[in-house]
Every structure is written in structure tokens, then in C-alpha cells.
Amino acid sequence: MDILESPAAMQSWRRAHPGTLGMVPTMGYLHEGHLALVRRALAENDAVAVSIFVNPTQFAANEDLDKYPRDEPRDLAMLQAAGVAAVYLPTPAGMYPEGYQTYVSVEDVTRPLEGASRPTHFRGVTTVVTKLFNAVLPDRAYFGRKDGQQLRVIQRMAIDLDSPVEIVPCDTVREPDGLAMSSRNVYLSPEQRAAAPVIYRALVAAREVFADGLRDVATLRESVYAAIASEPLGAIDYVSVADALTLEELDGVVGRPALLSVAVRFGATRLIDNIELG
């Protein structure tokens, strides 16, 4: 497994490995959710490159950049065992040197949901993903549905910028009790960890009443709200029923594919999850 730290080194590795390349962008502290993306990429490409970069431009000043969990030796051992060919490990100073001033920003689909409480977040994400694509030069890039808005923002960016990279969505990997795997789950206290599966239970219950024919958006939203609010350790940031592609909030009835998504705080830890309706 080769480790590349600069864009020039990464690009020359790519030129020396001309088969199809799948890429999995990550912020490290890897778990089974990341590895599921890696395995899918391995199955669909001649080789796989994984990037590990905790991207400062997608964190606001009050967020968890400094304490974001990191374990590079463990991540590298997991990727080596999985059969990854290259790991791109850029540094913050290499990515954003003095004088840096170029950003990629996607408009409407970045505004609701995560964008409402994290207004500079997606500009950081789309900028870093563009830079990662330019260094790694993959044919396909694999993203988790767990970060549902991020996936839509990146799909929109790839279409709008005529990107040659195919964006491949991958299903959310969950703990046995339903909690979506996340590097941030490590922040949860044992009590919070025990309470957090309420999120997925609420989403699944709403999907079941939807499957039984309930289409009223307000009732669906309120059922999720009430289910999560029954758990006193969780503080709801939002419960949304939105158009599955544009993420515009729906009202009235669900008449087209929708994304039911939530953000819930357990103490200082903010968890997001979603499920598709229809």
C-alpha cells in the first residue's frame, strides 16, 4: 500500500496506475461504514485509493475540529488489510497554503437542514472534494447515504461542473441496535450511547406508517419528533421530510420520493441520520 502526501505525488501515482480507480474520501477514525465503501470500490474497480483528511474548512470555529477523533496507525492497518492500493494523506498546510483563496460552492441544496445550522460547512466539503478528486483522479467516488445532504450536494456539484468522476451512493451501515456508525459515536457517554438508537427506531416507525399508506407530511414529521422526544437525553435539532433530490421541505402530502432526515444532539454530540420514503 502506497502512502502519498502531496497532490503531485498522488497524481504521479495515478499516472503509474492507469486501470480504473475507485476513491473513498474520509476523515479517518475508520469504522465498518467506511470499510463497506472500500469493499464496494474494490469490487467495482481495478484499484482503490482512500483519502484521510480532517478538513478544517468544513468545521466552523465553534465545532469539534481539534477534538475530532484520529488514529492514523489503526486506519492504515485497516486499509492495508482491506486491500487498498493507495492512501492519500494531505496536510492542512499543503491543502490550504498561505494565499489560498479558491472555494467551490453549491447553492440551493446546501441551504436547508445541515446548512441551516452549519452555514459554511458544505462550501468546505465541496472545495475539499474537488481538490481530492483533482489529486487522486479517480473514475468513481463512493459516498455514504448516512450523510444524505452531503451526498446530494456532491451529486449536484458533479453534474454542474461536468465532473468525469462517477458518484456512487452506498447504504448506511448500522450497529446491531440500529445506530448509524459514525466516527463521532465515540464521544457518546454510555448513557447517551444506550439512548441514541431511538433515532433509527423513530425513522423505521415512520417508514412503516408510510408503507401502510400514511402520506401526510406533518403527521409523519410529528410522529418522528414525538418518538425521539420521548428520550430525554436527546435534543432535536430538526426533523425534515423533504424532496429526495432538491431537499426542499415538503408540505401537504408526500407525492414524490422523499428524504426523512433528523439531527439530534446528545450532550455536545450531534448525530444525523435519514431514511428514504418511496
Residues annotated catalytic, as ranges: 34
Please say which residue, 173 or 275, places its beta carbon nearer to ligand AMP.
173
Instruction: Check residue 22 for interaction with ligand AMP (CB under 6 A).
Output: no
d(CA 110, CA 75): 30
- Return the residue of 122, 144, 254, 260 that touches ligand AMP, per CB under 6 A: 144
Instruction: Check residue 261 for interaction with ligand AMP (CB under 6 A).
Output: no
d(CA 1, CA 24): 15
Give 132-196 as a DSSP string: HHHHH--SEEEEETTSHHHHHHHHHHHHHTT-SSEEEEEPPPB-TTSPBP-GGGGGS-HHHHHHT
Binding region for ligand AMP (CB under 6 A) out of 6-14, 101-109, 181-189, 218-226: 181-189
Other beta carbons within 10 angstroms of residue 277's beta carbon come to: 22
Instruction: Check residue 271 for interaction with ligand AMP (CB under 6 A).
Output: no
CB 136 within 8 A of CB 51: yes
Q: What is the CA radius of gyration of the chain?
A: 19
Instruction: Check residue 274 for interaction with ligand AMP (CB under 6 A).
Output: no
CB 159 within 8 A of CB 166: no
Tell me how many residues contact ligand AMP (CB under 6 A). 17
How far apart are CB 8 and ligand AMP at their closest, in Å? 24
How far apart are CB 165 and ligand AMP at their closest, in Å? 13
| Pattern 30-49, ligand AMP, x by CB under 6 A | ---xx-xx------------
Footprint on this chain of ligand AMP (rule: CB under 6 A): 26-27, 33-34, 36-37, 143-144, 146-147, 170, 172-173, 180-183
